[in-house]
Amino acid sequence: MEHSGRLTYQEISQLELSDLHILRRTSIESIFGLLEHCEVQMLAPDAILLKQGQSNQTMYLVLAGRLSVHLDNTDAEPVAFLDTGQTVGEISVIEASPATAFVKAAELTRLLAIDEATFWRLVEVSHEFATNMLLLLASRLRANNNKMVENINLRMQLEHEASVDALTALRNRRWLDMNLPRMTHRHQFSKKPLCVVMLDVDHFKNFNDEYGHASGDTVLAEVARVIMHKLRPTDLAARYGGEEFCIMLPDTNLKGGVVASNRIREAVAASKVLAPNGEELPRVTISLGVACVQQDDTPKSILARADEMLYRAKKNGRNRVEA
């Protein structure tokens, strides 16, 4: 298999992407910031893409060519073919389960590889992508009645595993607990930097007591909106609990983490927030603690160190970043 590196407009056009079944009716411009980090791969004829029982965390989109699907072994008669515009591997991503069949190239095939983190970001930010995914699952239900109950559970799991906090639309604590270990290990293995930021809203309890929980919820939603607006497509954010948030900044060193954190801090301080009755609320500030993953870190230790820096920021006057 040959890897052609990062996706570029020269390698693949937005028109080509819009022809993919899973991206139909999707605004390609709005999600290209996510897709441009994915790999375009070339698979030679008879080259194996997936092996039955193999761990897989990638959904593949067939840009050109044809894949064949086999049970038991790759020499067996194919049970299905996947042509241009179709996908494979999404069930493994949704279920976090091994591949259930062998998949190989029936001819020279060009693929777009979407990793697990990007898949769930697409589900989160694009209603059309999520709808197309549900329709894809539904079509497979109709195609295989013997697995109907199992696939219905998978569709329900797709909605559940999105793990989005209802108030802020960010990922929730459960998602963070599931994914931070994988991200930590990945960056330790690649020796690429990963910054973790813990932040919370200053004097939030007093704000809630004075202006009410409905106004407090409005503030949390606004802070979340600012966070997402200031992050790169590859960055991830979750509501850790209460008024506390966690941000993961891949391929970012400590200096870059401080710069990104200050950008968010300044944007929150400048944001206007309206109460449910339409009246403008006092502006709020946030404090942030930044830590970079080290080789001996565990998810627990990196969160604890970032939380320690958050505590220092609050102790030193709030509305500041400590690293």
Q: Please provide the average confidence, as pLDDT, over all residues in the chain.
A: 88
Residue type, 5: G
How far apart are the C-alpha atoms of 125 and 109, rounded to whole Å? 29
Annotation: CATH topology of 2-115: Jelly Rolls (2.60.120)
* Helix-helix angle 213-230:254-270, to 10 degrees: 130
Which residue from 56, 50, 24 is spatially nearest to 129, judged by alpha carbons?
Answer: 24
Residues 169-220 have pLDDT tens digits of 899 998 899 899 999 999 999 999 999 999 999 999 999 999 999 999 999 9
Catalytic status, residue 128: no
Residue range 240-263: mean pLDDT, rounded: 96
C-beta separation of 39 from 4 below 8 A: yes
Which residue from 75, 77, 71, 5 is spatially nearest to 41, judged by alpha carbons?
Answer: 5
- The active-site residue out of 243, 244, 266, 308 is 243
pLDDT surpassing 70 at residue 293: yes
Instruction: Quickly list DSSP for 78-98.
Output: PSEEEETT-EESHHHHHHT--
Phi first, then psi, for residue 281 (nearest 5°) are -90, 160
To the nearest whole percent, how much of the chain has pLDDT over 70?
A: 89
Residue range 55-83: mean pLDDT, rounded: 91
Domain boundaries, the chain: 2-115, 173-322
pLDDT surpassing 60 at residue 298: yes
Long-range pairs for 275-281: beta carbons < 8 A, 24 or more residues apart:
275/211, 275/214, 275/215, 275/218, 276/214, 276/215, 276/218, 281/211, 281/215, 281/218, 281/219
Other C-beta atoms closer than 10 Å to the C-beta of 13 total 11
Q: Is 275 helix (H, G, I), strand (E, B) or coil?
A: coil
The confidence score (pLDDT) of residue 142 equals 67
Q: Is 154 helix (H, G, I), strand (E, B) or coil?
A: helix
pTM over 0.75: no
CA dihedral 32, 270, 209, 321 (to 10 degrees): 80
pLDDT surpassing 70 at residue 6: no
Nearest 5°: the CA angle 320, 322, 323 is 150
Choose between 288 and 19: higher pLDDT. 288
Residues 75-124 have pLDDT tens digits of 889 988 999 888 999 988 888 889 989 999 999 999 999 999 999 999 98
Residues 122-153 have pLDDT tens digits of 998 888 888 988 888 777 766 655 554 565 57
How far apart are the C-alpha atoms of 308 and 248, rounded to whole Å? 16
How far apart are the C-alpha atoms of 171 and 14, rounded to whole Å? 28
C-beta separation of 208 from 276 below 8 A: no
Helix H or strand E segment including 156 = helix 148-161
Which residue from 34, 186, 48, 183 is spatially nearest to 112, judged by alpha carbons?
Answer: 34
**In CATH, which of 2.40.50.140, 3.30.70.270, 2.60.40.10, 3.40.1360.10 is domain 173-322?**
3.30.70.270
pLDDT surpassing 80 at residue 7: no
Beta-carbon contacts of 284 under 8 Å, excluding residues fewer than 6 positions away, are 201, 202, 203, 204, 207, 219, 223, 268, 269, 273
The confidence score (pLDDT) of residue 18 equals 72
How far apart are the C-alpha atoms of 267 and 246, rounded to whole Å? 17
How far apart are the C-alpha atoms of 56 and 40, rounded to whole Å? 17
C-beta separation of 84 from 65 below 8 A: yes
How far apart are the C-alpha atoms of 165 and 178, rounded to whole Å? 15
The confidence score (pLDDT) of residue 143 equals 62
Phi first, then psi, for residue 240 (nearest 5°) are -80, -30
